[in-house]
Amino acid sequence: MFKLALDAGHWMGEAGRRCPKELDPNETREWWLNSRVISKVQDKLSVYAGVEILRVDDPTGKTEVPLKERVQLANEWGADFYLSGHHNAAKEYIFNGGGHVAFCYGKGSKVSFEMRDKLYDALIKHTGLKGNRANPKATADYYVLIHTKAPAVLLEMGFMNSRLDCPIVLTEEFADGCADAIVEVIAEHYGLVRKQEDTCTLTVSGVPQDEADKLVKEMQGRGYVVSVEGRVEAPAEPEVTYPRTVKLEGMPAILAKNIVPFNPNGPLSGWNNTISGGFSASGQPCSILVQDGKAKCKYACHYWYDRPESVLYRLTDGTVGMARVKSTDELPKSLRWAVGGLGLLDNYDPTAEGFCKLTKDDRTENFSDVLRDTDHTVLGYKDGLFHLIYCKSMTAAQVNAYAKKVGLELAVMLDGGHVAAINGSESWAKINTKQKQYYAIQGE
């Protein structure tokens, strides 16, 4: 019999252990995030034979269980392994780093070190959240690591106060990935075997297909091999309409089949499904903008300094493309629309596009402020849909990393700072809608 002690760190009432309101309006508490992963580990291990699990914290989170008591419970029970689940927070209130960190006691057992390393590697594999920690496989003198008789590991699964980690950590997919990683390592290291499979026949009638499929998955999750008879036709899938407002990795976005770039000469509050557009000056767009085949701004924003910009465009035959040009003369002739900005993904090179200090004819200007940590908008393309995205509190480099993470195929970063705005159909996608705009993009 394998005995596993599970510990969701802290409790609901512990002060300060939560996501910052600026990153998570719900200020989700750390214990809730910890407990979500630990509970999933319990559920996923239920299909293995010969496993006993002891939860040493209060599973409701309402009562604080002192560390001494948690360790004593595990020791008296005779735990074979002790796992404490946490989510991290840096000393800075909000920062841009992040990633997983796995700890064991520096004078701990060989198994503790092995499990620490295996668990960290599995977390990266199942969640992709590597981060930038200098020493992610670490040692520490935490009470539960020192005083537990069994091998013990404490996991910090991402940072709650990281602009990069927080939107990911809050997702159900991330929690599932963490739990999958933990179960995979424990099952492999301790040689756990799935319970003997039983076979049953499940007859389904008079219920929608999705309910039947849900029941099948539930039975399979209990270790049964299920064959289904009497299946019914699936109900027609509801038609998805566009434009529609969604969250992409925590950021508000508008998905659309086409876009219309234009100069609203006013706030976005009067224009639905819209984001602020590219660069403007003196009440006019100053980066490439083609609307209905007509150039509203012909030249790249740093054309005077002989620098090009990246342009996302669509032709009259529906073809979507990307090019780095200095003027619309270099683009295909049958343009439907074109939007210029700072190229992302394969086109990400701020210096090549003039987002740096530039000098010409004794005139010097610095355009690198566009790269700073602020709010930005992005126009991207993926799987036949245009993505109008509002990126909160990111540098240009982080915007580029985000564009890769959400799988955009083509993308340009538009203007940012005080002009960045979005007016989606949901309340959480209405940001800075009263700011006057001279360049905007509407999804349709």
Q: Is the pLDDT of residue 422 over 90?
A: yes
Distances in Å between the Cα of 118 and the Cα atoms of 2, 93, 111, 178, 181 are 18, 30, 10, 13, 9
CA distance 275 to 441: 5
CA distance 167 to 401: 14
CA distance 405 to 376: 16
Q: Is the pLDDT of residue 443 over 50?
A: yes
> Per the structure block, which two tokens stand in for 75?
């020791």
Q: What is the pLDDT of residues 44-98, one digit of tens each?
A: 999 999 999 999 999 999 999 999 999 999 999 999 999 999 999 988 889 888 9
Buried b (16+ CB within 10 A) or exposed e, 343-359: bbbebbebeebbbbebe
Residue that the structure tokens 């480099």 belong to: 397
Please compute the mean of the pLDDT values over residues 22-31 and round it to a whole number. 93
DSSP helix/strand/coil, 333: coil
Report domain extents, the chain. Answer: 2-189, 197-229, 244-443
Residue that the structure tokens 């992302």 belong to: 344
Q: Is the pLDDT of residue 236 over 60?
A: no
CA distance 373 to 397: 9
CA distance 157 to 170: 11
CATH homologous superfamily of 2-189 equals Zn-dependent exopeptidases (3.40.630.40)
Please compute the mean of the pLDDT values over residues 321-345 and round it to a whole number. 93
Please compute the mean of the pLDDT values over residues 165-170 and round it to a whole number. 94
pLDDT of 237 reads 55
Please compute the mean of the pLDDT values over residues 385-401 and round it to a whole number. 94
Residue whose C-alpha is closest to residue 349's, from 277, 413, 285:
413
Please compute the mean of the pLDDT values over residues 264-288 and round it to a whole number. 84
Mean residue pLDDT across the chain: 89
CA 239 centroid distance within chain: 26
CA distance 170 to 163: 12
pLDDT of 134 reads 84
Say which residues have a Cβ less than 8 Å from residue 187's Cβ, sequence separation at least 6: 45, 48
Q: Is the pLDDT of residue 321 over 90?
A: yes
Strands (E), 171-300: 193-194, 198-203, 224-229, 244-248, 251-256, 259-262, 274-276, 280-281, 284-285, 289-291, 294-297
pTM: 0.50
pLDDT of 205 reads 59
Residue whose C-alpha is closest to residue 43's, from 153, 189, 178:
178
Q: Is the pLDDT of residue 197 over 60?
A: no
pLDDT of 371 reads 86
Is residue 294 within 8 Å of residue 321, measured between CB atoms? no
Say which residues have a Cβ less than 8 Å from residue 127's Cβ, sequence separation at least 6: 100, 157, 158, 168, 174, 177, 178, 181
Q: What is the pLDDT of residues 240-275, one digit of tens each?
A: 789 999 999 899 999 999 999 888 888 998 899 999
pLDDT of 196 reads 64
Say which residues have a Cβ less than 8 Å from residue 317's Cβ, sequence separation at least 6: 334
CA distance 9 to 20: 18
CA distance 54 to 45: 12
Please compute the mean of the pLDDT values over residues 210-214 and round it to a whole number. 72
In sign, the C-alpha dihedral spanning 378, 396, 19, 127 is positive
pLDDT of 359 reads 83
Q: Is the pLDDT of residue 233 over 50?
A: no
Q: What is the pLDDT of residues 118-158, one digit of tens each?
A: 999 999 999 989 878 889 999 999 999 999 999 999 999 99
Other C-beta atoms lying within 10 Å of the C-beta of residue 73: 17
The share of the chain scoring above pLDDT 70, in percent, equals: 92
pLDDT of 234 reads 44
CA distance 246 to 252: 6
DSSP string, 189-218: HTT-EEPPPEEEEEE--SS-HHHHHHHHHH
Residue whose C-alpha is closest to residue 89's, from 152, 169, 13, 35:
169
